[in-house]
Structure 1
Amino acid sequence: MFKVAVIGASGLLGRALVRELDAETGWQVVQTAHSRVGPRQVALDVRDAQAVAAFVAREAPDAIVIAAAERRPDVCEHDPAAARALNVDAVRSIATAAKARGAWVLSISTDYVFDGTQPPYLPDAAPNPLNAYGHSKLEGERALLDASDDALVLRLPLLYGPIVDWNESAVTSLVPAIRAAAATAHAAAKPAPMDAWATRYPTFTPDVAVVIRELLTRCADGEAVRGIAQWSGDEPMTKYDIAQRIARALGIEAQLIAQTQPTDATPRPRDCHLDSGRLEALGIGRRTPFDAGIGAVLDAFEREHADKN
Structure 2
Amino acid sequence: MFKVAVIGASGLLGRAIVDELARQPTWQVVGTAFSRPAPDTVPLDVRDSRAIEQFVEREAPDALVIAAAERRPDVCERQPELARALNVDAVRAIAAAAQRRGAWTLSISTDYVFDGTHPPYRPDSAPAPLNAYGRSKLEGEHALTATTDFGCVLRLPLLYGPIVDWAESAVTSLVPAIAASASAHGQPASMDAWAIRYPTFTPDVAFVIRQMLERHAAGNAIRGIVHWSGDEPMTKYEIAVRLAEALQLDAHLTPQHTPTDATPRPHNCHLASERLEELGIGRRTPFDTAIREVLAAFPWRGDTAV
TM-score by length of 1: 0.97
Between the aligned partners of 1:297 and 1:190, the Cα distance in structure 2 is: 26
CA distance in 2, matches of 1:202, 1:209: 15
- Pairing partner for 2:278 from 250, 258, 281: 281
| Equivalent residue number for residue 72 of structure 2 | 72
Identity %: 71
Report deviation, 1:21. 0.7
1:233 equivalent in alignment to 2:230 = yes
Structure 2 distance, partners of 1:163, 1:139, is: 28
The residue type paired with residue 71 of structure 2 is: R
Q: Cα distance, 1:22 vs. partner?
A: 1.1
Q: Which amino acid aligns with 2:189?
A: A
Amino acid at match of 1:77: E
Q: 1:221 aligns with which of 218, 223, 244?
A: 218
Q: CA RMSD in A?
A: 1.3
Pairwise CA distance, 1:303: 7.5
* Partner in structure 2 of residue 103 of structure 1: 103
What are the Cα deviations for residues 143-184 of structure 1, in whole angstroms up to 9, with x where unaligned?
Answer: 00110000000000000000000000000000000001113x
Give the 3-state SS of the residue equivalent to 1:77 in structure 2. helix
Letter in structure 1 aligned against 2:96: T
Q: Indicate yes or no: 2:297 matched with 1:297.
A: no
Instruction: State the Cα deviation string for residues 84-103 of structure 1 (Å, max 9, x = none).
Output: 00000000000000000000
Alpha-carbon distance between aligned partners in 2 of 1:239 and 1:31, rounded to the nearest angstrom: 32
* Residue in structure 2 matched with residue 12 of structure 1 by the alignment: 12
In the TM superposition, structure 1's runs of 4+ consecutive aligned residues that sit over 3 Å from their partners are none
Count, aligned residues: 303
Equivalence map 1:78-97=2 (5 Å): 78-97=78-97
Who is 1:163 aligned against?
Answer: 163
Structure 1 CA distance for aligned equivalents of residues 254 and 90 of structure 2: 40
Superposition deviation, residue 189 in structure 1: 2.3
* 1:206 aligned partner: 203
Query: What is the aligned counterpart of 1:262 among 255, 259, 263?
Result: 259
Q: Secondary structure at the match of 1:302?
A: coil
* Structure 2 match to 1:128: 128
The code of the aligned residue for 2:274 comes to G
TM-score (norm 2): 0.98
Amino acid in structure 2 at the alignment position of 1:13: L
* Residue in structure 2 matched with residue 49 of structure 1 by the alignment: 49
Cα offset, 1:304, TM superposition: 11
Question: C-alpha distance in 1, partners of 2:112/2:272?
Answer: 14
> Secondary structure of the residue that 1:74 maps to in structure 2?
helix
Letter of the structure 2 residue corresponding to residue 151 of structure 1: G
Query: Aligned equivalents of 2:185 and 2:271: distance in 1?
Result: 40
SS of residue matched to 2:107: strand
Find out whether 1:192 has 2:189 as its counterpart: yes
Q: Deviations over 1:16-71 (max 9, x none)?
A: 01110111110010110001111111000001000000100111000000000000
Query: Structure 1 residues 247, 80: CA separation in 2 closer, same or farther (over 3 Å shift)?
Result: same
For 1:139 and 1:224, locate their aligned partners in 2 and report how far apart those are by CA, in whole Å.
23
Residue-by-residue CA offset, 1:118-150 (whole Å, 9 max, x unaligned): 000000000000000000000000000110000
* 1:117 is aligned to 2:108: no
